[in-house]
Amino acid sequence: MHYPTSRRSLLTAGAALVAAAAVTGQAHAAPARPDRDRLRGLISRMSLEEKVGQLFVMRVYGHSATDPDPADVASNQQEIGVANAAELIEKYHVGGIIYFAWAHNTRDPHQIADLSNGIQRAGLAQPTPLPLLISTDQEHGIVCRVGEPATLLPGAMALGAGGSRSDARTAGRISGAELAAMGIRQDYAPVADVNVNPANPVIGVRSLGADPQAVAGLVAAQVQGYQSSQVAATAKHFPGHGDTATDSHYGLPKITHTAEEWERLDAPPFRAAIEAGIDSIMTAHILVPSLDPAEDPATLSKPILTGILREKLGYDGVVVTDSLGMAGVRQKYGDERVPVLAINAGVDQLLNPPDLAVAWNAVLDAVKGGEISEERIDESILRILELKWRRGLFRAPYVTHAGVDRTVGTASHRASAARIAERTTTLLVNDGDLLPLSRRSHGNLLVVGVDPAAPSGTGGPPTAVLAAAMTELGFAATALPTSTGGQPNPTQAKIDEAVAAAEGRDAVIVTTYNVSATSSQRTLVSSLAATGVPVIHLAIRNPYDIARLPGVAASLASYSWTDVEVRAAARVIAGKADPRGRLPVPVQRADDPSQVLYPIGYGLRY
């Protein structure tokens, strides 16, 4: 690709900064620290509009940077005022783009690589040629944007149940390597929230657990894994989203921890991430009055982001907001004020505003009017460019199909994922040593229960996957889903059908999903138990379900319903793997939550 002299010289200036990192034969060698003076020189050549654009990370619809499907063109024009990613970059000079499955960005690995290359070509064709930082939410478990044939790994709480820092590091390394091969160099993971509230509707199994020190160790390991594969890890959601009963997508949660409780419960994982050299930290749209008496959302709070994160914790990396389209950050201020307040609070990257034109112009006007100094903008751009440099984007912005084929979804990666998943499955009840199941005495199985909508490309439905896995292991297993339309609670007709199907079976495996006090899932399980057929229960999301399900002969937790975890549970049930997982959160009694039924660290073995 050829550039006019001015563009080529700018790109060369950026490329010169990474010469020291070009280690022969080591595509992912850790580069030396970039020369800040030379990066500042690059920044000094940028227009104000280009500088403002570098602060934004935006969604865009379509599988191609220049030729998306007509429906995606229409969505882009309606929401952003452009036709495609290339036009988005040309008009707004955005510094990053976030991929979503629902935006049709992640069809398959080769397509993702081509989209990433198209985005980089558009960025390097601009008046100031700069690579873009492409990001996504690939937490694994229940939050995945890139599905099969990429390797799918156990989610955070499953890793917490495994308790192995080595496994957490390996999971991060594998995920990072595959993302990097597709051109994605920033992952919004790991979740560093300590899930101390079982009623938490938004974090739950996305957290590594409820013990701050255990979570801290696993967070640090994940950071090391991702960043060893040249993908920027992102600890989220600062200052800690673990003790809330409100989902910040739809409301503004309030955390009532005292400053001392915050230090003890919420801070350790973020401290560990910083000590591990994390590239980026994501803010939370939550109120923490003990940390900011003004009760501004943390995303907009200078006392929290500058006073605590920057000054107290000593963090000098990139701070990225959670999505600015979420209700939690939009309730107190209008969309035109949110990005300005976020920057003045200490934010560097503004993620996915609902109306980019409003947000972009608000920041531009704030700089022109003096509310935000240009020096403040330059500080953020320097951090962003340093991150891009560290992750090799100046040196090697493009990826190849050959690199995808060598890396994504390899047999070794899948085997590692399966082994890790087996080490996370947790056995909570095993009356009469029912498990492991014997094919001779319990060979005829019925698998019933919930089939929640799976993250895109993560397989399923779980009842079918579980039945197929048990059949492969030598059992005769039939699947009968009892949920309808992804809703977990079965109708009475479905319950009656399951009870009738259980007749003559040697055992029934039933999956559940977040059982509440009024859930008809309880009726399903109790009705099956009343038949006298042994009932094996598998909680496929939060592990708290067993507290409301007396009468089951055996109970396990897989922490997710993705194929890798469901198949691991099947191998544990069949005795092909030992249940080595230990609860990373306490399970409280349903009738008295002040009492713990199963403590952190509980788990049975064969």
> Is residue 9 predicted with pLDDT exceeding 50?
no
Between CA 216 and CA 222 the distance in angstroms is 10
Query: Is pLDDT of 7 > 90?
Result: no
The catalytic residues are 249, 322
32: confidence class by pLDDT, cuts 50, 70, 90 = low
Q: Give the range among 221-225, 244-248, 419-423 with minimum mean pLDDT.
A: 244-248
Contacts of residue 9, defined as CB under 8 A and 6 or more positions apart, other chains included, come to none
Alpha-carbon distance values, 326 to 281, 349, 352, 572 (Å): 18, 16, 9, 39
- In this prediction, residues 107-120 reach a mean pLDDT of 98
Confidence of residue 14 (pLDDT cuts 50, 70, 90): very low
Tell me if domain 5-21+30-142+152-394 and domain 425-598 are identical in fold.
Answer: no
**In the chain, domain spans:** 5-21+30-142+152-394, 425-598
- Select 425-598's CATH number: 3.90.1150.10, 3.40.50.1700, 3.10.110.10, 3.40.50.300: 3.40.50.1700
Indicate if the pLDDT at residue 398 is higher than 50. yes
In whole angstroms, what is the distance from residue 342 CA to residue 359 CA? 11
> Comparing C-alpha atoms, which of 556, 510, 517 is closest to residue 533?
510
Residue 184 and residue 135 in contact, taking contact as beta carbons nearer than 8 Å: yes
Closest CA to 519 of 550, 551, 478, 491: 491
d(CA 108, CA 399): 14
pLDDT tens sequence across 494-505: 999 999 999 999
CATH 3.20.20.300 fits 5-21+30-142+152-394, yes or no: yes
The residue assigned the tokens 């050959």 is 402
The C-alpha angle 144, 390, 173, rounded to 5 degrees, equals: 40
Q: 388 near 382, Cβ under 8 Å?
A: no
In whole angstroms, what is the distance from residue 30 CA to residue 277 CA? 12
Q: Rounded to an integer, what distance in angstroms lies between the CA atom of residue 441 and that of residue 445?
A: 11
Residue 8 has pLDDT above 70, yes or no: no
Count the residues in the chain. Answer: 606
Residue 250 has pLDDT above 90, yes or no: no
Contact between residue 10 and residue 42 where contact means Cβ atoms under 8 Å apart:
yes
Taking a C-beta distance cutoff of 8 angstroms, is the pair 423, 448 a contact? no
